[in-house]
Structure 1
Amino acid sequence: MTDTRISIVKNSWFYLVNNTENEGNFFYQTLFELDPSLRPLFKENLDGQSQKLVTMLDFVISRLHELDQIIPQIEDLAVRHIHYGVRKEHYELVGQALIQTLEYKLDEQWNEHTEEAWLALYSILSGVMIRATENISVQ
């Protein structure tokens, strides 16, 4: 990711968490609207799951300049998710839900540069996660 895109992601995330509410819940609502069959994958209370999502995004976004150093944590997250039933094809839906959530929550702060920056980040993250799980079979 370029420094410009990193800055855009960080600034938009800072704005989002400081000026909106229920980002995680909105994300999951959007995800389940895109594909209701994903709802059973989330056995936990969605408030808790939503907080985990926001915490993980905080973690990643705070380390965008050293993304290569947190790849092992991202890979571990992917491995845990495969055991919950997450499949490769789900990543596209998650990306759509993320972008729709950001666009809605950022409202007037959203523009094509913001979208490009977030898509670049999600492409990196989902690529790492998919590669980390390609050779894992779930028993």
Structure 2
Amino acid sequence: MTPEQVTLVKDSWEKVKPISEKAAELFYDRLFTLDPSLKSLFKGDMSEQGKKLMATISLAVASLDRLETILPTVQALGKKHAVEYEVPESSYATVGEALIWTLGQGLGDDFTDDVKEAWLLTYTTLSAAMLSGTEEAAA
């Protein structure tokens, strides 16, 4: 990612943080609309799950300019999702689609093509790291 893309992601995330509860609701509503079978993977309080999601995204966004420091943690998260939660690899594309849609809803006119491209690259990078953890779990 370029420094400009990192800045776009960080600046846009700052605009989402004040509406994080609503953003989490939008995300999960969209996710379950895209793939209703994923709902069975979530056993607990969805409000708490939303808070965890927003905290995880916040940590990832804050670490984008030093990505190499969080990649082992992201890979471990992927492994945990595969082993403990039995998250199918195919769901990563659906999660990405729901995330990008949610950001578009939350940011409105501020969700420019450049911002969207930066977020797509961010998600692609992080999900690839998670998937490498998934592959490690399968080996």
Which structure 2 residues correspond to residues 57-68 of structure 1 after superposition, within 5 A? 57-68=57-68
Give the match for residue 85 of structure 2.
84
State the percentage of identical aligned residues.
Answer: 36
Equivalent pairs, count: 138
Shift of 1:131: 1.1
1:125 pairs with 2:126: yes
Q: Structure 1 residue 135: deviation in Å?
A: 3.5
State the match for 1:115 in structure 2.
116
TM-score by length of 2: 0.94
Residue type at the aligned position of 2:131: I
**RMSD after superposition:** 1.4
Contact 2:81 2:87 in 1 (8 A): yes
Distance 1:64 1:25 in 2: 24
* Contiguous gaps of at least 5 residues in structure 1: none
Alignment of 1:87-102 (within 5 A): 87-102=88-103
1:17-72 CA distance string (max 9 Å, x none): 13564211211111000000110000011001100000001111111110100111
Secondary structure (helix, strand or coil) at the match of 1:91 reads helix
From the two aligned structures, give the one with the greater helix fraction.
2
Q: Over residues 108-130 of structure 1, what are the superposed CA-to-partner deviations in whole Å (9 max), with x where a residue is unaligned?
A: 11110011000000010011111
Could you list the runs of 4 or more consecutive aligned residues of structure 1 that deviate by over 3 angstroms after TM superposition? none
